[in-house]
């Protein structure tokens, strides 16, 4: 992927550009051609990455000669080097979280939180900016965590539909804000977190 | 657990520890940067165990038996904070540690939020919740894990 719409001012954030990558002329790899829907396109990316991982594992087991560079450097096939399949799988896990996952009775993430979280993960994928983890929140929702040394940031999608983010560094007061669960607000949060982290 | 006096004990020393159980799946970072994520901190009522009446591993019971015990000091509870939410209202939030014994756990206490002096039960706006939760997240220090009850104490 070369597009970084959330992190590059040169990329116009037009709705039609994102939803119709073929017509917009911005498709950059096979996954882009699989699907017109933005969220589904992100999932397609994850599926392609997973397929590539499996293919690599098969090659790895059968032929040492192909181990070094089986696709002539066209693809990064090192298993584990791309976090995206695991991150998308994590959201799938959270969708099946048990009602009693929290000892104090917090509800698992609902459909609204999951939908917003998927869209956010898709934006992160396009920005090539992976969170360190995704966790269910005791406040009922989904939290994306970002870390770099003493710096910590989080974006939280609550079951209530609220979205908040925090930038935090030890010894300093946190910077907090509520944001709209829309692409513009989420992209702005990604920019701020990227600059902070 | 120490033998409890019969009633609530309203006096908290500023240096008293308040123990909180955290799921290790919600803890990240290395070395001194290792800390819980904000997703593990509740608002407005955060249940803790008073250090005056309990030891660090005593929060690791039941479904939390494999979790980690972390603590902050009474003096590290967030100070009174004034927020100016949209559009023009000004709300002042204050936080208090209150001893709230429950059956089988005399040490149980809660960090409670008050909005304009009145008990605040359900947290809004989201900024206030995140501010409070991250403030406490920053204060948390490791006390012990399930397999090493004395480590970090």
> How many angstroms away from the CA of B81 is the closest CA of chain A?
12
Nearest by CB to A168, from B39, B42, B138: name it. Answer: B138
Does pLDDT of B69 surpass 80? yes
Contact check, Cβ <8 Å, A143/B29: no
pLDDT at residue A36, as a whole number: 41
Which residue among B28, B37, B64 places its CB closest to the CB of A103?
B64
Q: How far apart are CA A50 and CA A88, in angstroms?
A: 11
Chain A residue with minimum CA distance to B47: A104
Residues 6+ apart with CB under 8 A from A143: A134, A135, A136, A137, A154, A155, A156, A157, B37, B38, B39
**Residue B61 pLDDT more than 80?**
yes
Closest-CA distance of chain A to residue B56, Å:
18
A109 neighbors A91 (Cβ within 8 angstroms): no
Distance, CA of B77 to CA of A8 (rounded, Å): 40
Which candidate from B39, B127, B134 shows the least CB-CB separation from A178? Answer: B127
Percent of residues, chain B, with pLDDT higher than 70: 84
Higher pLDDT, B72 or A10: B72
Contacts of A29 (CB under 8 A, 6+ apart): A1, A45, A48
Between chains, do B38 and A164 touch, taking CB under 8 Å as contact? no
Residue A32 has pLDDT above 50, yes or no: no
Identify the burial level of A75 via C-beta atoms within 10 angstroms of its C-beta, where 0-12 means exposed, 13-18 middle and 19 or more buried. middle
**pLDDT confidence bin for B79, thresholds 50/70/90:** confident
Contact present, A156 and B130 (Cβ < 8 Å)? yes
pLDDT value at residue A97: 95
Predicted local distance difference test score (pLDDT) of residue B128: 84
CB of A137 within 8 Å of a chain B CB? The answer is yes
- Residue predicted with more confidence, B85 or A141: A141
pLDDT at B150: 57
B104 and A CB contact within 8 Å: no
Residue A66 DSSP SS3: helix
At A10 the pLDDT is 36
- Name which of A189, A60, A196, A34 is nearest A127 in CA terms: A189
The burial of A171, by beta-carbon neighbours within 10 Å (0-12 exposed, 13-18 middle, 19 or more buried), is given as exposed
Whether residue A136 is predicted with pLDDT greater than 50 in this model: the reply is yes
Q: Return the residue of B nearest to A162 by Cα.
A: B126
Residue B73 confidence (pLDDT): 96
Which residues lie across from B118 on neighbouring strands? B115
pLDDT tens string A53-105: 566 555 544 444 444 444 433 344 455 578 999 999 999 999 999 999 999 99
Q: What is the mean pLDDT of residues A111-133?
A: 95
What's the pLDDT at A173?
A: 82
pLDDT of residue B124: 66
Q: How confident is the model at residue A189 (pLDDT cuts 50, 70, 90)?
A: very high
Residue found by looking up tokens 């894990």 in the block? B145
pLDDT tens digits, one per residue of B117-153: 888 776 568 888 898 899 999 999 999 998 765 555 5
Average pLDDT, chain A: 75
Among the ranges given (A35-44, A127-136, A162-171), the one the predictor scored with the smallest mean pLDDT: A35-44
Higher-confidence residue of A7 and B39: namely: B39
Which pLDDT score, from 0 to 100, does residue A33 have? 39
Q: Confidence class of residue B45 from pLDDT cuts 50, 70 and 90?
A: confident
Give the pTM.
0.77
Choose, out of B28, B121, B126, B128, the residue to mutate when testing the contact with A (most A CBs < 10 Å).
Answer: B126
Residue B51 DSSP code: T
Closest A-chain CA to B60 = A103
Assess A4–B contact: CB distance below 8 Å, yes or no: no
- Mention every residue, 6+ apart, whose C-beta is less than 8 A from residue B17: B50, B51, B56, B71, B72, B73, B143
- Between residues B6 and A125, which one has the greater pLDDT? A125
Phi–psi pair at B101, nearest 5 degrees? -60, 145
Confidence of residue A120 (pLDDT cuts 50, 70, 90): very high
Kindly state the average pLDDT of the residues B85-93.
68
């Amino acid at each position: 992927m070369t597009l970084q719409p959330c992190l590059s001012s040169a990329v116009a954030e037009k709705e039609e550009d994102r939803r119709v990558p073929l017509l917009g002329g911005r498709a950059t790899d096979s996954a882009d051609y699989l699907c017109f829907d933005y969220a589904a396109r992100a999932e397609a990316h994850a599926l392609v990455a997973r397929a590539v991982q499996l293919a690599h594992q098969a090659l790895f087991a059968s032929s040492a000669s192909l181990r070094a560079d089986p696709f002539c450097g066209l693809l990064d096939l090192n298993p584990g080097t791309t976090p995206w399949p695991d991150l998308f799988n994590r959201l799938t896990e959270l969708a099946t979280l048990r009602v009693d996952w929290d000892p104090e009775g917090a509800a698992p993430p609902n459909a609204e939180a999951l939908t917003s979280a998927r869209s956010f993960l898709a934006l992160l994928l396009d920005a090539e900016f992976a969170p360190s983890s995704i966790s269910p929140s005791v406040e009922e929702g989904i939290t994306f965590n970002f870390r770099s040394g003493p710096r910590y940031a989080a974006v939280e999608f609550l079951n209530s539909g609220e979205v908040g983010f925090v930038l935090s560094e030890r010894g300093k007061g946190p910077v907090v804000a509520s944001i709209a669960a829309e692409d513009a607000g989420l992209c702005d949060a990604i920019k701020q977190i990227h600059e902070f982290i | 657990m120490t033998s409890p006096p019969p009633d609530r004990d309203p006096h908290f020393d500023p240096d008293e520890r308040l123990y909180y159980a955290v799921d290790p799946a919600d803890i990240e970072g290395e070395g001194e940067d290792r800390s819980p994520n904000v997703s593990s901190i509740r608002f407005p009522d955060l249940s803790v165990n008073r250090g005056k009446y309990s030891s660090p591993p005593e929060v690791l019971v039941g479904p939390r038996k494999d979790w980690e015990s972390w603590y902050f000091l009474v003096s590290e509870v967030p100070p009174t904070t004034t927020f100016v939410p949209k559009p023009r209202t000004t709300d002042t939030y204050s936080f208090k540690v209150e001893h709230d014994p429950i059956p089988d756990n005399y040490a149980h206490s809660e960090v409670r939020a008050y909005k304009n002096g009145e008990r605040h039960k359900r947290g809004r706006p989201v900024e206030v919740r995140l501010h409070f939760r991250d403030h406490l997240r920053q204060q948390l220090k490791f006390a012990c894990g399930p397999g090493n009850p004395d480590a970090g104490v």
